[in-house]
Amino acid sequence: MGRAIAFDYERALEKATRLFWKGGYAGTSLRELLTVIGIGEGSFYNTLKSKKQLYLACVKRYEETEGRKRAHALMSAPTAGEGIRAMFGVILDCLDDPQVPSRLCMMAAMAAEDVLSEPDLRQRVEDSIETFHATVSERLRQDRDMGLLPKTLDPQTIASVIITYAQGLWRMALVDYDRPRFERQIAAFLTGLGL
């Protein structure tokens, strides 16, 4: 009878998520994962199956933690405009946190050639964007239908613009991040959208 492996899956997933968040999919090696998780290669393949499967599990974990904070801020505010501002506030809070592995959102980092070149990973990116888009779009539609936003507002287009802006915000934060400046830019951006 083989001996049982003492393995804390949740702790391993947490460590791997931070590593992938810092280095991205291609930039994180199997050797680094084994070292951080603290298991051998055989145990890794027996329990976690592959680097790709672990990455997908880490992306899911990230969405369930960081993504949930943003969605809650968006959906719990009294209006769509306030919710979108609150969502960007959560993003800026994350950028301010010295404990996060990277200023680049793990989901934004997925929009890279190494990830998009693999069909199943590309599908995961598209699904995540679609879910985020649907959430923002629905929030805008609710306010439009209640008369809080102009009837001419197109929730689908505005949601796409907001997502594109968020992607750019994370990338610009890698170059030069200053919260007050970003807050002014976000305010001007949302005012320009009528939010």
DSSP code of 104?
S
Distance CA 28, CA 9 (A): 19
pLDDT at 6: 58
What sign for the dihedral angle of Cα 113, 115, 117, 123? negative
pLDDT at 7: 66
What is the chain's pLDDT, residue by residue, as a tens digit (195 residues)? 444 455 688 898 999 999 999 999 999 999 999 999 888 888 888 888 899 999 999 999 999 999 999 999 999 999 999 999 999 999 999 999 999 999 999 988 998 899 999 999 999 999 999 999 999 999 999 999 999 999 999 999 999 999 999 999 999 999 999 999 999 999 999 999 999
Total-model pTM: 0.89
pLDDT at 1: 42
pLDDT at 41: 84
Residue that has been written with the tokens 């001996």 in this structure: 3
Q: 60 burial class (0-12, 13-18, 19+ CB within 10 angstroms)?
A: middle
Query: For helices 155-175 and 179-192, what crossing angle results, to 10°?
Result: 160
Q: For the chain, which domains are there? A: 60-192 (1.10.357)
**In 10 A of CB 44, how many CB atoms?**
19
Please compute, for residue 1, the number of CA atoms within 13 A of its CA located in the half-sphere on the CB side: 2
Distance CA 34, CA 41 (A): 7
Distance CA 142, CA 179 (A): 30
Q: Cα–Cα distances in Å, from 174 out to 26, 104, 161, 194? A: 18, 7, 21, 28
Please compute, for residue 132, the number of CA atoms within 13 A of its CA located in the half-sphere on the CB side: 26
Secondary-structure percent of the chain, ordered helix, strand, coil, rounded to 5: 75, 0, 25
Residue that has been written with the tokens 């069909």 in this structure: 119
